[in-house]
Amino acid sequence: MNKIAIFHRSDGTYGYQTPDNGFHVRLRTAKDDIKSVEIIYGDPFNWGPESDIKNARNIWKKEGENLIEKYETDGDFDYYSKTIYNFNKRFKYYFKLVDKDDKKFFFGEQGIREWNENIDGHALGFTWAYSCEGKLNMPPKWWTQTDWYQVFPDRFASSKKELKFETEGPEHLEVLGGNIQGIIQKLDYILELGFKGLYINPIFKATSAHKYDTIDYMQIDPQFGTLEDFKELINKCHSRGMKIMIDGVFNHSGFEFEPWQDVLKNKEKSKYKDWFWINDFDNLKTAFEYDKEKFSKTKPYETFGDTPTMPRINWENKDVKNSFKKVTEFWTKMGIDAWRLDVADAPSFTFWRFFRDTVKNINKDCSILGEVWYDALPFLHGDMFDSSMNYPFRTNILESLIYKNIEIKDFKAIFTKQKYLYSNYISAGLFTLVGSHDVDRITSIAKGDKALVRSIFSFMFLAPGSISFYYGDEYNQVGRYDSDNRYPMDFSDHTNNKTYKLIKKLNKIRSKYREDIQKGIRWVDISTNILEFTWENGKRILIDIENDEVLIDGKAILATK
């Protein structure tokens, strides 16, 4: 037996409470290393009628024994999975493992040892102390039932004019004139495409076109319209059964942010000097006076990246917290359904817990999405974010299906490993994407191979997650990072576009089978280079990349060739 490969923790990923009063257990072993797995469990306080302290270890009463079947493999490890029901809210348990040579082993919190009927399972086992609503770690139910269409407001639509660049290509800060009324006019387009979530990039008053350099957190940027326009957008979304998510930038401000301007003027005498992370007051200048290379080396103040125009905010400062609390309360009370938090991995855990409490005290169903580009588990324990941007999914897609750095069978193995970073409920809510304002357009990365892009979209839509779809990708808009990937939306007739038709069809399938999809997928054969998997309802899905088709139980959903 490969003891090092065996893993379990009752930490919310390999052992966690379910909403139907169960407890879900996962166990990892080396591939093909174990003949059988049994879980033995009981109430940790059930000692029997003649219990006393001296004999406690010998008379703990076990209440159940269940075999756990192997659920799937990733090629290196096997994963066993089972939900246990009909137990007290308190749960003590351990595992009985039988290897290929029929040798029996005990596995508990302190490791593996040879099986002995007198082993003290109570002292050495795993513990789930108590099930209660506050430990049920999952995003709001509506979140996992919603897929999102991402809009970059300045480049999406205008109620006043056609959006186009006057020069050969977009400048980083160039403002084109998209506005909120333009978005309102296109809500039916988004809904017709099949999306019931609208995610919009920042709309607060800012300097640039992207608006991640905030000037005033309490004001809609006049370029986009008025507060009344935004309230109308919320109402128009809700009247259509749509949700709306806005972008919050609390990691840093823009250089025109009033407190920052006061610091530049008054330096150490500024009442806002502790609002920012300043290393050298004597070297403070306006943002455009710095040589970028010298700035990155001397760092007179902390910033987003090495960008002088975006000073990093001191989230631990009491006045900063109170100011951002007012901002958070103002927009949450207005009726938004979710927050997307920019650069969410930088601010402190204590700040995000403070932010979450502020939001959830107003609306417990308002979701919180964090921008984290890697394993986001530290943020997803139920005290900070409800979801994270699933960029690892995108990386796996690019590495295998586009760059060909790994084979499809490796892609499947990585996908499975990533699944076990989180509980099923968190996985079902991850913000799954291949396109956004921060990365090259997927069709450009695929060098114009639209059939390949359709295969990628097909897998994304038929796998678990809360989908994020970047505007224009439905007709294979191209563009490299940054701002080439933010070209104006083309609203000409796309009804005959193969990708557009596929997205509409995939959204319908996803809506019909959402509950089954969100429970997870299992590969038909992990060792092949074929994208074939099943849902929990037994339906078999084949994504035929070569022939540009998707088949469910052998039937093509849309022949796109």
CATH of residue 35: 2.60.40.10
Tell whether 546 is covered by a domain. no
Tell whether 534 is covered by a domain. no
Tell whether 60 is covered by a domain. yes
Distance of CA 32 to the CA centre of its chain: 32
What is the reported pLDDT for 560? 45
Tens of pLDDT, residue by residue over 413-471, are 999 999 999 999 999 999 999 999 999 999 999 999 999 999 999 999 999 999 999 99
Tell whether 147 is covered by a domain. no
Tell whether 175 is covered by a domain. yes
Label residue 305 left, alpha or beta by phi (over 0 means left) and psi (-120 to 50 means alpha): left
Q: How far apart are CA 90 and CA 66, in angstroms?
A: 17
Residue that terminates a domain, selected from 135, 163, 187: 135
Q: How far apart are CA 100 and CA 157, in angstroms?
A: 63
Residues 274 and 349 in one domain: no
Residues 385 and 290 in one domain: no
What is the reported pLDDT for 61? 82
Tell whether 421 is covered by a domain. yes
Q: How far apart are CA 219 and CA 475, in angstroms?
A: 34
Residues 361 and 418 in one domain: yes
Residue located via tokens 């039916």? 188
Residues 207 and 230 in one domain: yes
Backbone angles phi, psi at 370, to 5 degrees: -105, 140
Buried (b) or exposed (e) across 271-282, using 16+ Cβ within 10 A?
ebbebbbbeeee
Residues 113 and 163 in one domain: no
Query: Dihedral sign, CA of 69, 74, 77, 82?
Result: negative
Q: Are 368 and 385 in contact (CB under 8 A)?
A: yes
Q: How far apart are CA 295 and CA 561, in angstroms?
A: 52
Counting beta carbons within 10 angstroms of the beta carbon of residue 31, is it exposed (0 to 12), middle (13 to 18) or buried (19 or more)?
A: middle
> Tell me, what DSSP letter sits at residue 168?
S
Buried (b) or exposed (e) across 520-554, using 16+ Cβ within 10 A?
bbebeebeeebbebbbeeeeebbbbbeebbbbeee
In the chain, the N- to C-terminal Cα span, in Å, equals 49
User: Which residues are catalytic, by number?
Assistant: 342, 371
Residues 412 and 464 in one domain: yes
Backbone angles phi, psi at 219, to 5 degrees: -130, 135
What is the reported pLDDT for 87? 83
Domain housing 219: 153-251+315-521
Alpha helices in 287-380 (DSSP H): 292-298, 318-333, 349-362
Task: For the chain, list residues with pLDDT below 70.
Answer: 48-58, 165-173, 559-561
Alpha helices in 48-205 (DSSP H): 56-59, 121-124, 153-156, 180-185, 187-193
Residues 444 and 340 in one domain: yes
Q: How many Cα neighbours within 13 Å face the side chain of 169?
A: 10
Residues 370 and 497 in one domain: yes
Residues 290 and 348 in one domain: no
Residues 99 and 219 in one domain: no
Residues 223 and 266 in one domain: no
Residues 204 and 244 in one domain: yes
- CA 133, 355, 343 angle in degrees (round to 5)? 115
Q: How many Cα neighbours within 13 Å face the side chain of 497?
A: 19
Tell whether 554 is covered by a domain. no
Parallel, antiparallel, or unpaired: how do β-strands 549-552 and 555-556 relate? Answer: antiparallel
Structurally, the chain folds into a number of domains equal to 3
Tell whether 336 is covered by a domain. yes
By three-state DSSP, how is residue 244 classified?
A: strand
What is the reported pLDDT for 561? 47
CATH of residue 388: 3.20.20.80
> Tell me, what DSSP letter sits at residue 399?
I
Residue that terminates a domain, selected from 79, 105, 135: 135
